[in-house]
Structure 1
Amino acid sequence: MERHISQRFDSDLEALKSQVLEMGGVVEQQIIDSVKAIESVDRTLAEHVLSVEDDVDRREVLLDENCTMILACRQPAASDLRMVLSVTKMTRDLERMGDEAQKIAQMAIALSDDGAAPGGYESIRHMGALVQKMVNSVLDAFARFDADKALDVARADTQVDREYQSAMREIVTYMMEDPRSIGRVMNIIWALRSIERIGDHARNIAEHIIYLVKGLDVRHTSVHEIEMRLNKS
């Protein structure tokens, strides 16, 4: 970001960046723990994931307050305004990622109560690893203001979507073969749905980063179109 005459303004923007990365780190660990909890049907770990949610919500509120203060007191323009607007949107996506991690943890607790599902854990493990990598990469892209790395995250989301559709087809066979397992298998389905949504939110953040760095609004745009617009910028 550009340097300013007011060192305080620079400090305010750097603080925003640090707070987003700290919140991102908390959410990233939530995701890692929730996936591990449902893989291993670990109730204790799942309950830990649920306990972190208040911290994530508190961080979102604090970031919103800081963004509002900067808008009111500094009246930022150009790239500075994009920074503040992007942060407000990114924190919303991070908070929703935390919500999805919470849902995965709740499914882990349900499986702990009802007994393990007959299958689907390999899909949880594989999709979980893909999404965890997306979240780590998108936070790194923000730390570096790297639009190309953000584009890579958007590309990865298409792979997650394909894996999700494939997993759904596989899991339906478990329900057909053993109707008595439908309730337990549904917990796996809802967890996979939450993992897929985390990927969607990671892509949203990637799009916010591209807007921040390049000034391009690429929401509701295909990966191919994003590539073309970045090449022209």
Structure 2
Amino acid sequence: MQDKHLSSQFDHELNQVSSHVLELGGMVEMQIRQAMYALAEFSAEVADQVEETERRVNALELDIDRELSTIIARRQPTAIDLRLLLAISKTTANLERVGDEAAKIARMVKRIIESGNARVLPSGELRIAADLAAQQLRKALDAFARLSAEEAVAIIRDDDQVDREFDGFVRKLITYMMEDPRTISASLDLLTLAKAIERIGDHAKNIAEFIIYIVKGADVRHSGLENMESLTR
């Protein structure tokens, strides 16, 4: 009976920390929306909101890390429970880094505004890549909530879409700079923005890989897509 009670407590702690990870994910998603709105409207005020949210994201990440440390010390988990806790820790770190990328976008938006080149740059073309990256993150959080390896594999399969949008935007920027060398400095700022968006997609992919690790017990970080798909058949 005592073992059942301890198991119930452990399940409650796991559910609690998992819900906090999803809360962190929601905050990071809000950061992305704010950052892209700041870019679309060249709003320094909204860019400031992104950086304010970043402080809350960092605080929640620390809280989750403390929860995980307490659970590991108190419960000494093994097998799938330990895999879950390790993957939660890595997922939390990736979400915090997504927040870092959103804050980087916000800071770059303010820099572009201060440069006076805000309205002459093709920043609107970043929206497709940003929407794709945000969708990938949303799918990763949904897959985490369900612990669905199948959904995780689909996220990894779709990661190339974000990369293709990034590559296409880089080619357009190069053409833009060649046609008007005066825009080189501001265009390089946009390139930094595009890279930050690509990194958001990369972090969503990382989270998907950790989900597969939780569910299947296999580290697929350096595996091919075919191997990942075979694990979920």
Taking structure 2 as the reference length, what is the TM-score of the superposition?
0.94
C-alpha displacement at 1:4, in angstroms? Answer: 5.2
Could you report, residue by residue, the CA deviation over 1:133-164 in whole angstroms, capped at 9, with x for unpaired residues?
01111101111111111111111211111111
Which residue identity does 2:187 align to in structure 1?
V
In structure 2, the partner of 1:151 is 153
Distance in 2 (alpha carbons) for counterparts of 1:45 and 1:218: 38
Are the aligned partners of 1:154 and 1:223 in contact in 2 as well (CA < 8 Å)?
yes
- Aligned partner (choices 163, 166, 183) of residue 161 of structure 1: 163
Distance in 2 (alpha carbons) for counterparts of 1:20 and 1:154: 20
Could you report, residue by residue, the CA deviation over 1:70-96 in whole angstroms, capped at 9, with x for unpaired residues?
111101112211111111100110111
- Count of residues paired in the alignment: 229
User: Any stretches of 5+ residues in structure 2 without a counterpart?
Assistant: none
Distance in 2 (alpha carbons) for counterparts of 1:140 and 1:192: 25
Could you report, residue by residue, the CA deviation over 1:157-183 in whole angstroms, capped at 9, with x for unpaired residues?
111111111110111111111111111
In structure 2, the partner of 1:202 is 204
User: Any stretches of 5+ residues in structure 1 without a counterpart?
Assistant: none
Percent identity of paired positions between Structure 1 and Structure 2:
41
Distance in 2 (alpha carbons) for counterparts of 1:33 and 1:4: 45
C-alpha displacement at 1:123, in angstroms? Answer: 2.7
Range moving further from structure 2, 39-48 or 201-210: 39-48
Which residue identity does 1:163 align to in structure 2?
E
Distance in 2 (alpha carbons) for counterparts of 1:74 and 1:144: 23
Matches within 5 A, 1:151-190: 151-190=153-192
Which residue identity does 1:25 align to in structure 2?
G
Range moving further from structure 2, 151-160 or 168-177: 151-160
3-state SS of the aligned residue for 2:120? coil
Which residue identity does 1:98 align to in structure 2?
G
Are the aligned partners of 2:216 and 2:231 in contact in 1 as well (CA < 8 Å)?
no
In structure 1, the partner of 2:44 is 43
RMSD after superposition? 1.4
Which residue identity does 1:16 align to in structure 2?
V
Taking structure 1 as the reference length, what is the TM-score of the superposition?
0.94
In structure 2, the partner of 1:215 is 217
Matches within 5 A, 1:65-214: 65-114=66-115, 115-116=117-118, 118-214=120-216
